[in-house]
Structure 1
Amino acid sequence: MKFANQQLDLTVPQVMGILNVTPDSFSDGGNFNNIEHAIKQVHLMIEDGATIIDVGGESTRPGAADVELQEELDRVIPVIEAITQRFDTVVSIDTSKAQVMLAAINSGAGLINDVRALQNDGCVDVVASCDLPVCLMHMQGMPRTMQAEPQYTDVVKDVIKFFEQRIQVCEQAGIQKNRIILDPGYGFGKTLEQNYQLLANQSKLLQLGLPVLAGLSRKSMIGNLLNNSVDERLAGSLSAAVLATLNGAKIIRVHDVKETVDAIKVFNAMVAQTNN
């Protein structure tokens, strides 16, 4: 798949490093919300094996408040410009605002990553006007309320139906299907049981014929299961990353890049032998 001036082989798993330039993200809020700290973290993640850096300026944790447009632009655009000037890597913009998408594209971003699956005003048009890949994520509700008693008829079938509808909207707007990546949205409007139902059946998303991105790193589905805090979730996150990869994910979005890259290398070594 072509990401701006970069080509990534999604026949093998790729690791996306998370860079939250926010004061309030659930795991690393406030750690990288100045350019110097952000660039140091990007350098480290690339050295550790990340091939995509996902830049976000608005927290999507449960209960998160909305961020004004100009504030989000001020957070993410200088960082994207700094990364693209210094590193030969794919930069992803994690946003649901059309204006932020457009500014990020003009600053060198190579992937649009939208937790609202281009449902906000103008987003479909912006993505249709460029030639970049887009990741559509499933979320029931909005960040402020998404964990207030989420309900599904069948979480796996409902997520697949949602993606079928969004893919159709994208194609009708001129977004080629081969530019689309799907994210089942672990932790976004799903109970603990529903998250693990989705993980166990994630391979069913492959029937849609598109790459799958999985973001499970340090999430409450791990913390609530193991009864541990955010900084105690590495082992659970690595287990989830390997399980998601086993079930077909081609991009794994994580905070702990080096450890995840190592885990994926072990997975790849096993796969290489099973194919011999």
Structure 2
Amino acid sequence: MTIEAPCVLDLRGTTLDLTRHVAVMAIVNRTPDSFYDRGARFALDAAIAAGFAAAEAGADIVDVGGVKFAPGPPLPIEDEIARVLPVVRALAPVVAVSVDTFHPEVARAAIAAGASIVNDTTGLRDPAMADVIAEGGAGVVIAHSLAAPRMPHPDPHYDDVVAEVAAFLTERRGLASVRGIPHERIILDPGHDLNKNTLHSLELTRRLGELAALGSPLLVALSNKDFVGETLGRDRGDRLAGSLAAAVHCVLHGARIVRAHNVRETIDAVRMVEAIAGWCEPVLLRHNMPTGEAA
């Protein structure tokens, strides 16, 4: 492991110590057009059940979204609130809840309903979002992206994608700080695939340590993304192995939160890394132990 330094998040009074622990953020998209599950969790009961199942499996955070990142027609803010709030209210008593939104109005309502984190894929494009988060005492995920919300950005160009993403995240973290969000509530996300092609996302992954060196907890959202599919030639439903490989590489280079669709498998992968690093003990000790049975 390359990074082992104090890294404690303050999530509205609950602390999440990431010094020797990798958190898994489960994804619950309450959208009819989610790129991965194609609306399987759009129904309210299905979304809540998925969140409870993720918490039971060991997810530290459940990320609830009502609008996908990909380009498309705008959804009225009232509709987005109606999608996410019942899920936030149901899950907040049992697990830390993040809300995936770029609208300050949605963030404010979600924080009031119990959300601990706002996951803004536009990287605080609207500075009012930082004010809402600061006032509500929530944490923030600042993700790198280039385009206006839900707008296309064809053929994105970077002279040095890692350097440019690092500069963006540093600048937006500074904005968050000035607006009153403490350092211990700020999480950075390089934004794999968000206005980036596969070569860009691979470069971010390869050089992730440079972003971990920025000093804030680093989240990676790699799960089943197109850069994994294009690298391996795999369709959307056949990207688990590639996603886990990318996640493990990122953990080894400083990522402390992994956002994932396949919660149980991702938890197993990161716990195995933790055990190899000596950060946690095995669940069982039987194989070739004095009082155990040979396997």
TM more than 0.5: yes
Query: Aligned residue for 2:82?
Result: 74
Shift of 1:29: 3.1
Query: Aligned letter for 2:73?
Result: A
1:171-190 alignment, distance < 5 Å: 171-190=177-196
Rounded to whole Å, the distance in 2 between the matches of 1:127 and 1:22 is 23
In 1, are the aligned partners of 2:139 and 2:181 still within 8 Å (CA)?
no
Query: Aligned residue for 1:138?
Result: 144
Cα deviation digits, residues 125-159 of structure 1 (max 9, x gap): 1112122211100012244313x101011000000
Whether 1:44 and 2:46 are equivalent positions in the alignment is no
Match of 1:22 among 31, 38, 46: 31
Query: Aligned residue for 1:115?
Result: 121
Query: Aligned residue for 2:174?
Result: 168
The alignment's C-alpha RMSD in Å is 1.4
* Structure 2 SS opposite 1:140: coil
Cα deviation digits, residues 83-105 of structure 1 (max 9, x gap): 22xx4210001000000000000
In 2, are the aligned partners of 1:20 and 1:29 still within 8 Å (CA)?
no
In 2, are the aligned partners of 1:182 and 1:211 still within 8 Å (CA)?
yes
Shift of 1:178: 2.4
Query: Aligned residue for 1:222?
Result: 228
* Structure 2 SS opposite 1:144: coil
Rounded to whole Å, the distance in 1 between the matches of 2:163 and 2:193 is 17
Query: Aligned residue for 1:258?
Result: 264
Query: Aligned residue for 1:58?
Result: 67
Query: Aligned letter for 1:74?
Result: A
In 1, are the aligned partners of 2:120 and 2:142 still within 8 Å (CA)?
yes
Structure 2: 5+ residue runs without aligned partners? 1-8, 280-295
Shift of 1:49: 1.4
Identical-residue share of aligned pairs (%): 37
Match of 1:196 among 199, 202, 221: 202
TM-score by length of 2: 0.88
CA pair 159-166 structure 1, distance change in 2 beyond 3 A: same
* Structure 2 SS opposite 1:129: helix
Find the structure with the greater CA-based Rg.
Answer: 2
Query: Aligned letter for 1:22?
Result: T
Shift of 1:5: 4.3
Match of 1:249 among 220, 241, 255: 255
Query: Aligned letter for 2:249?
Result: L
CA pair 36-5 structure 1, distance change in 2 beyond 3 A: farther
Structure 1: 5+ residue runs without aligned partners? none
Whether 1:89 and 2:98 are equivalent positions in the alignment is no
In 2, are the aligned partners of 1:124 and 1:173 still within 8 Å (CA)?
yes
Query: Aligned letter for 2:68?
Result: S
* Structure 2 SS opposite 1:46: helix
Rounded to whole Å, the distance in 1 between the matches of 2:173 and 2:127 is 17
In 1, are the aligned partners of 2:112 and 2:136 still within 8 Å (CA)?
no
Rounded to whole Å, the distance in 2 between the matches of 1:77 and 1:112 is 13
Shift of 1:206: 2.2
In 1, are the aligned partners of 2:189 and 2:219 still within 8 Å (CA)?
yes
In 2, are the aligned partners of 1:20 and 1:57 still within 8 Å (CA)?
yes
Match of 1:129 among 123, 131, 135: 135
Query: Aligned residue for 1:208?
Result: 214
CA pair 271-133 structure 1, distance change in 2 beyond 3 A: same
